[in-house]
A = this chain, B = another copy of it.
């Protein structure tokens, strides 16, 4: 029994496939269950079963619940944050950036609707730990270019005065919150799944329009 599953030079087809297959099956299962139930609510047994394996094998691949959780969480944070950089750090004009960002973020979250709630909950449970990793891993997302752009547009009187942080918060809030708060919102608004999905889809265009209206001079 040992955990070093490095792929050595040997061509080693069937075994390798099986092994990677198992590891991937575990990760997929863990992702689903951790996202749905959170660290505290997830059960190793359940993850094993969902992966079609035995609890012992789960521990064979990932020593502990915490280790497994960290794999899932770090993957999740990476996905969530890696969307910020490329668009907000790019060379587009402010308005285009806003449009692209909202479109991209909502598309992504639509594909991974449980992700934001999962991350936000776990980060709240354990701020220090998870936040510090957040910085180490991908490096803190760099919003400075976006911020400068905002300030510059304010100076040029193209948009009204607004703190860049507030603008960013508004944008992110409107993109992410409807997913985190979906069950509550759907109840309060009294709309069915189909209608709510339509509302979410509409937001790709609605939010940028809303934001730009709000800040344009």
A residues touching B (Cβ–Cβ < 8 Å)?
36-41, 81, 84, 114, 117, 119-121, 123-125, 127, 130-131, 134-135, 140-141, 143, 160, 162-163, 165-166, 168-170, 172-174, 176-178, 180-191, 199, 202-203, 206-207, 210-211, 213-215
Contact = CB atoms under 8 A, between A and B. Distances in A.
A123 B188 contact: no
B183 A169 contact: no
A140 B187 CA distance: 8
Nearest to A119: B184
B184 A177 contact: no
A207 B131 CA distance: 27
Given A84-B188, A123-B183, A214-B211, A169 B163 contact: no
A160 B210 CA distance: 10
Contacts of A117: 120-121, 124
Given A211-B214, A214-B210, A185 B202 contact: no
Contact of A206 (B84, B130, B134, B162): B162
Nearest to A183: B127
A83 B76 CA distance: 34
A37 B122 CA distance: 10
Given A37-B40, A174-B170, A134 B187 contact: yes
Nearest to A41: B40
Given A40-B38, A183-B131, A214-B213, A178 B169 contact: yes
A191 to B, nearest CB: 7
